[in-house]
Amino acid sequence: MSRLNGKVAIITGAAQGIGATYAQALAAEGATVVLCDLNAPDETAAAIRNKGGTALAIACDVTDGAAVQAMVEEAVEQFSGVHVLINNAALFATLELKPFEQTSSAEWDRIMAVNVRGSFECAKAVMPVMRRQGYGKIVNIASATAFKGAPMMAAYVASKGAVIALTRSIAREVGDAGIRCNCLAPGLTMSANVQANAAWAGDIVRNNIASRCIKREAVPQDLIGALLFLSCTDSDFMSGQTLVVDGGSVTH
């Protein structure tokens, strides 16, 4: 495994669940990883180091532009560059399913701040570094719900639709600088936090599985192949695209 040897990758929301899985997969492929979450993801970093990888854990709120800038500066100081950004941090697993008119303005703003502005802040912060390098990969994490218009989670769905649109716009701006910006859109994936939310059980999960070509639950490891493809040179002639990985529920 060496597709990312010599590359430095930032993964946001890496303390647990899918983000931790992403981080460990990138490290296994040879990347030096910089991990961030609201609390420093020390356990994820330790797991990577125990397998011989190099990892730096940083506490960072992705909605805080100054904190994001400081994280990127520390990554560059420690490892001399940033080649890959995985914008994974988002609010989802703990959200309550409810009609859109029951969503408060404050909740809407919080979801948009984390899920959309967080990706914007991180992409903005790495851009000068990637421009100097003449190369970079930004992988924004959206959701297949943006294509379905899934009910009872309007703020989340709207935020992930915005992430797809943001991806397309950034890709147009930075392609001439050697930077690629693509989107990975998972379907409902049974991470630990999703499993802990009673809303994601029973008929909701069964109906979701029934809509797929491949009729089983999705687990975080199902996303790794697509993530690595978008992060490494295999996808160097691809930008502005959204890759849906949901077992064939959405055919995009």
**CA proximity to 37, closest of 77, 78, 68, 83:** 68
Contact between 4 and 29 under an 8 Å Cβ cutoff? The reply is yes
Greatest extent of the chain over all pairs of C-alpha atoms, in Å: 50
CATH topology for 8-245 is Rossmann fold (3.40.50)
Domain boundaries, the chain: 8-245
Find all residues with CB under 8 Å of 214, minimum gap 6, and list them. 247, 248
Q: How many CB atoms lie within 10 A of CB 112?
A: 18
C-alpha distances out from residue 34 to 43, 150, 172, Å: 13, 33, 26
Torsion angle in degrees (nearest 10) through CA of 160, 44, 2, 34: 70
The per-residue pLDDT for 192 is 81
The per-residue pLDDT for 1 is 61
The per-residue pLDDT for 217 is 94
Q: What is the pTM of this model?
A: 0.96
The per-residue pLDDT for 139 is 99
Burial (0-12, 13-18, 19+ Cβ within 10 Å), 77: exposed
Side-by-side strand order, sheet with 84-87: 55-59, 32-37, 8-12, 84-87, 136-141, 179-186, 242-245
Q: Where are the beta strands (DSSP E) in the chain?
A: 8-12, 32-37, 55-59, 84-87, 136-141, 179-186, 242-245
User: What is the full per-residue pLDDT of the chain (252 aa) written as tens digits?
Assistant: 689 999 999 999 999 999 999 999 999 999 999 999 999 999 999 999 999 999 999 999 999 999 999 999 999 999 999 999 999 999 998 899 999 999 999 999 999 999 999 999 999 999 999 999 999 999 999 999 999 999 999 999 999 999 999 999 999 999 999 999 999 999 999 888 788 877 778 888 999 999 999 999 999 999 999 999 999 999 999 999 999 999 999 997
- Tell me which DSSP letter residue 172 carries: H
The per-residue pLDDT for 132 is 98
Task: Give the bridge partners for 55, in sequence order.
Answer: 33
**CA proximity to 189, closest of 10, 12, 19, 9:** 19
Give ∠ CA 206-211-217 in degrees, rounded to 5: 50
The per-residue pLDDT for 252 is 78
Q: Which residues does the annotation mark as catalytic?
A: 156
Which amino acid, one-letter code, is at 162? Answer: A
The per-residue pLDDT for 93 is 86
The per-residue pLDDT for 35 is 98
